[in-house]
Chains A and B, each alone.
Chain A
Amino acid sequence: MDDAVIRLEKASKTFRDFWLRPTVEAVSELDLEVRRGEVFGLLGPNGSGKSTTIKMILGLLSPSAGKVSLFGLPPQAKAARARLGYLPELSYLHPFLTPRETLMYYAGLSNLPRAVARERTAQLLEMVKLDNVATRPVGGFSKGMARRVALASALIGKPELLVLDEPTSGLDPVSTKEVKTLVKALAQKGMTILTTSHLLADSQDICDRVMILNHGKSVAEGKVSELGESLEEFFLAKVGSGDEFALADFLA
């Protein structure tokens, strides 16, 4: 049996202008495989192609060349999407809905029966510690609270694969730790997780394997334990030192 949950084979994505002329090659001939039960980190500087890769995996973008599959199916297939949970970089919640309504809405879209949806909503609200504000519109929530609602929404459909785009973005240290603890707990239960992060320490804590992208290409891939003591040092060695700005000249 195929153990790969996500598979990209020579996947490329070229964006084109109105006249169909190529403008940017965001991802170039990328090979990627995420296996069942694995926590996989997709790392890279801004503009390295992480978001484009995630959008191809989610079926929001079609590859210009190569092949992308999710559970052995095309990412646009309903059967594949039914097994997927997604937390975007920003929470993007409907401000007029309450957390309970938000979860019930996404449960409905995931075709959960009403009774199951209600039960799962209550469980998740308790898990993300929002059960006491379950009837307040999320428009008035803090960034951290909104993030927790979004995370619960990603989990409502009992996904087998969870895609987390910058899951700790904008969170305070306490909330960051809570999210990391949650991701670890989900991984222990056997959920496959694909995450991107700028915070390399976070990735080092939670990922089994990582891939480092630069200019749309994979520059390194392997188990975190095999990449050396510090993921940050390894990362900087692969994509640049970060000392490019001639600040001293500017200030002089």
Chain B
Amino acid sequence: MNSLWRIFWLELTSLVRSWTVLMLLAASLAWMFAMPRLVTGDGTAEGFRELFVSYGLGGVFTLLVIAILASATGSIASEREAKRLQLTEVRPVSAFAIAWGRMLALAAVAAFVLAFPCAVLVCSQEYRGIKCSHVFRPQLESPEEEAAKMYDAFMADPDTSPAIKRARKSTILRILAQRAKDHYQTVHTNSVASWNFPGFAEWAKANPSVEPSMRLRFATDFSQHSDVRGSVSASGFLGTVSNVTQTAVVIPMRREALASGGTGAATTNAAADVVSFANTGGNAVMLRPRQDVELLIPADAFAWNVLRSYVVMVAVLMLVAAVGVFLGAGLSRPVALFVAFVLLIVSEMSPSVIDQYPDQLESDTVDRIGLAMTRAVGRMSKPVSELSPISPLADNDCVEARDAAWAFAVDFCALPVAFALLSAFLLRRKQE
């Protein structure tokens, strides 16, 4: 423990005395204070908060990812190249402590620097009394289940081309799953679409003073800016949608609206867990039930949400540090730096590459290899990319406590420990 603390202290001292911490802190605060002057938003407080979180905190987080990755790759590699590492290695200290102590120090720096922008964010927004919301999506079969059904139907259909029938099942299933995810539901004029939210009615009974909202993201037939009218109803609540000219709309639902009989064409679903949208406008509307329909339940204060987001971001930065230290343990500093940034760029790009490049392109061998590699990096970097809290925080969606705990357990503890063990193995091998 003593030696771990000493290595942690050495790395921390190195980062402080090389001005790294001060420069990061100055850059972060400068960005947080300059950003509101550069980007003014859409004129509403809500729009400004969204931009402030996305670009302000998002910018600082990106800066920290790059800085921590660069520092981490050099942490062990430069020590080894300067031959200082051997002086530590001949002491009674484990190679695991050498790697783990450095990762913790880098995470501590990240946590320290990130605390300031988060504090700025809370101080500038909390007085508005904003509350974040728990987000629930309708219960639907998974895209994979839907894809499997579609696949069976395709195969049974005599009109399906022989080429598709001959193709690899996993490839077809992947295309169909993507199609299921993006599947649009059309709600025609004077018709109703319903979705099931299990447990909603029970929740409504247990919380008589809390009123939920619905968030719908519309795409009309020809333009995303067409007027949309209608109503949403759910388990004794009713909300009205009118004159919507935005793609995404949050519709507050009121209990008293039910008592007065409501104004929409939708029937209220007082006992069931069903939420319905009735289209009373002149245009048919389209939305993707898996992505565009969300039930919002008010939760706790903005500051708590920032705190949970902070935990997730620190956990992700710890994982970034762990990857950097691991690469630095096995490679020379410039090579480790290059590999680290290639991995970072590919992991950031992989979701859009996978989404946008259809499998038809896989006819070429090079494309096939490229897509397979991109998919592999995308899959490996999922813990980092999927848990980014910036987007939910900007939308005022709750970063759930269980997600923060999961991020801490996996990204801060389990994966970095695994990387520290691998680094220790590499450190011992590297001596040979």
A-to-B contact residues, CB < 8 Å: 55, 58-62, 78-79, 81-82, 84, 86, 88, 90, 92-94, 96-97, 101, 105-106, 108-111, 137, 153, 157
Contacts and interface: CB of A to CB of B under 8 A. Distances in A.
Interface in B399-432: 431-432
B14 A153 contact: no
B83 A109 contact: no
Given A94-B10, A108-B2, A108-B3, A60 B82 contact: no
Nearest to B431: A60
A86 to B, nearest CB: 5
17 contacts: A58-B90, A59-B90, A60-B86, A60-B89, A78-B92, A78-B94, A81-B91, A88-B83, A94-B10, A94-B14, A101-B13, A105-B6, A105-B10, A109-B2, A109-B6, A109-B92, A137-B17
B39 interface: no
Interface in B1-49: 2-3, 5-7, 9-10, 13-14, 17-18
Contacts of A90: 83
A114 to B, nearest CB: 9
B93 interface: yes
Given A84-B90, A96-B14, A108 B5 contact: yes
Contacts of A94: 10, 14, 84
Main secondary structure of the interface of B (DSSP, over half): helix
Contact of B87 (A62, A79, A86, A108): A86
B88 interface: yes
Contacts of B7: 109
B180 to A, nearest CB: 47
Given A88-B83, A94-B10, A109 B88 contact: yes
Contacts of B92: 78-79, 81-82, 109-111
Nearest to B86: A60
A96 B13 contact: yes
Contacts of B91: 81, 106, 109-110, 157
Nearest to A101: B13
A109 B431 contact: no
Interface of B: 2-3, 5-7, 9-10, 13-14, 17-18, 82-84, 86-94, 431-432
Most buried by B among A55, A88, A109: A109
Contact of B90 (A81, A97, A105, A137): A81
A55 B86 CA distance: 10
Given A105-B9, A110-B92, A92 B432 contact: no
Main secondary structure of the interface of A (DSSP, over half): loop
Contacts of A97: 10, 13
A65 to B, nearest CB: 14
Nearest to A111: B2
Given A81-B91, A96-B18, 14 more contacts: A55-B431, A58-B86, A60-B86, A61-B431, A79-B92, A81-B90, A88-B86, A90-B83, A92-B84, A94-B10, A94-B84, A96-B13, A109-B2, A157-B91
A59 B9 CA distance: 25
B102 to A, nearest CB: 13
A70 to B, nearest CB: 11
Considering the complex of A and B, which 8 residue pairs feature the smallest CB-CB distances, nearest first?
Answer: A108-B6, A109-B91, A78-B92, A96-B17, A82-B92, A81-B92, A92-B84, A86-B90
B297 to A, nearest CB: 51
B13 A109 contact: no
Contacts of A82: 92
A93 B3 CA distance: 18
A35 to B, nearest CB: 21
Contact of A153 (B82, B86, B87): B87
Given A60-B431, A111-B3, A92 B13 contact: no
Nearest to A78: B92
B12 to A, nearest CB: 11
A84 B18 CA distance: 31
B428 to A, nearest CB: 8
A88 B90 CA distance: 11
Nearest to A107: B6
A90 B9 CA distance: 24
Nearest to B15: A96
A61 B83 contact: no
A109 B9 CA distance: 11
Contacts of A110: 91-92
Given A82-B92, A109-B92, A61 B432 contact: yes
Nearest to A58: B90
